Structure 1
Amino acid sequence: MTELEKRPAPTRPGAARRAAGALLGYAAVRALGLVALALWSAARDKSAYPLLTARWDSLWYARVAANGYGYQVRLPNGDVHSDLAFFPLLPWLERLGAALTPLSHADAGFVVGALASLAAAWGIFAVGDHVYGRRAGLCLVLLWAVLPVGIVQSMAYSESLFTALAAWSLYAVLTRRWLTAGTLALLAGLTRPVGLAVAAAVWAAGVAAFVRTRGPAAAPGAPATGRAPGEGARCALGLLLAPLGAAGYVLWVGHRTGGGPFGYLDVQAGWRNGFDGGWAFARFVAAMFTSFPSALAGLGLTAGVALVIWLYVVGVRRRLPLPLLVYTGVVTALALCASGYFGSKPRLLLPAFPLLLPLAAALARRRTARSAAVLGVLAVASALYGAFWLNGSGPP
Structure 2
Amino acid sequence: MQRVAVVVTWLIRGGSLPDDLMKWDGRWYLRVVKGGYHLPAPGSWESDMAFFPGLPAVGRLLARCGLDPSWATLLAAWIGFACAAAVIVLVGREVGGDRVGALLVLLWGVAPMSFVQVLGYSEGWFIALVGLGLLMGLRRQWIRAGLAICVAGVFRPAVVPMGVLLALAWVAAWPVFRRGVDAAERRRRFIGAALTPWGMLGFVALVGARNGRWDGYFMIQKAWGTRLGWPGEVFRLAAKYWPVAPYNWRYFGLVIAAVILYLILLMVMIATREKPLLRAQVALVLALTVFTEGFFRSKARFLLPAFPAFLPVARLLAKAPTWVQVVVMAVLTAASTWWGVYMVGSRYSP
Is the shorter-chain TM-score for this pair beyond 0.5, marking a shared fold?
Answer: yes
CA distance in 2, matches of 1:83, 1:199: 25
Indicate how the Cα distance of structure 1 residues 302 and 237 shifts in structure 2: closer, same or farther if over 3 A, else same.
closer
Query: Identity percentage over the alignment?
Result: 33
Letter of the structure 1 residue corresponding to residue 30 of structure 2: A
Instruction: Give the secondary structure class of the aligned counterpart of 2:66.
Output: coil
Instruction: Give the secondary structure class of the aligned counterpart of 1:211.
Output: coil
Alignment of 1:15-26 (within 5 A): none
RMSD, matched Cα: 2.7
Q: Which has the larger Rg? A: 1
* Counterpart for residue 31 of structure 1: 4
CA distance in 1, matches of 2:44, 2:114: 30
Q: Which moved more, 1:334-343 or 1:151-160?
A: 334-343
Structure 2: state its 5+ residue gaps. none
Indicate how the Cα distance of structure 1 residues 303 and 387 shifts in structure 2: closer, same or farther if over 3 A, else same.
closer
Alignment of 1:214-225 (within 5 A): 215-216=178-179, 225=180
Indicate how the Cα distance of structure 1 residues 31 and 302 shifts in structure 2: closer, same or farther if over 3 A, else same.
closer
CA distance in 2, matches of 1:170, 1:163: 10
Letter of the structure 2 residue corresponding to residue 314 of structure 1: V
Contact 1:281 1:339 in 2 (8 A): yes
Indicate how the Cα distance of structure 1 residues 295 and 192 shifts in structure 2: closer, same or farther if over 3 A, else same.
closer
Contact 2:33 2:73 in 1 (8 A): no
For 1:257-291, what per-residue CA distance to the aligned partner results, in whole angstroms no more than 9, with x for missing partners? 2332x432211111112111234431244246759
Contact 2:52 2:155 in 1 (8 A): yes
Indicate how the Cα distance of structure 1 residues 108 and 230 shifts in structure 2: closer, same or farther if over 3 A, else same.
farther
Indicate how the Cα distance of structure 1 residues 303 and 255 shifts in structure 2: closer, same or farther if over 3 A, else same.
same
Instruction: Give the secondary structure class of the aligned counterpart of 1:351.
Output: coil
CA distance in 2, matches of 1:85, 1:248: 14
Q: Which moved more, 1:190-199 or 1:369-378?
A: 190-199
CA distance in 1, matches of 2:18, 2:208: 36
The CA deviation at 1:35 is: 0.9
| TM-score, structure 1 as length reference | 0.80
Q: Name which of 117, 135, 141 aligns with 1:171.
A: 135
Contact 2:161 2:288 in 1 (8 A): no
Instruction: Give the secondary structure class of the aligned counterpart of 2:308.
Output: helix
Alignment of 1:1-396 (within 5 A): 28-40=1-13, 42=14, 46-53=15-22, 55-72=23-40, 80-99=45-64, 101-208=65-172, 210-211=173-174, 215-216=178-179, 225-226=180-181, 231-260=185-214, 262-287=215-240, 301-396=255-350
For 1:97-120, what per-residue CA distance to the aligned partner results, in whole angstroms no more than 9, with x for missing partners? 212x11133222222222221211
CA distance in 1, matches of 2:53, 2:248: 39
Letter of the structure 2 residue corresponding to residue 95 of structure 1: R
| TM-score, structure 2 as length reference | 0.89
The CA deviation at 1:234 is: 3.8
CA distance in 2, matches of 1:214, 1:306: 33
Indicate how the Cα distance of structure 1 residues 230 and 269 shifts in structure 2: closer, same or farther if over 3 A, else same.
same
Structure 1: state its 5+ residue gaps. 1-27, 217-224
CA distance in 2, matches of 1:31, 1:110: 14
Contact 1:279 1:339 in 2 (8 A): no
Contact 2:91 2:134 in 1 (8 A): yes
Letter of the structure 2 residue corresponding to residue 195 of structure 1: V
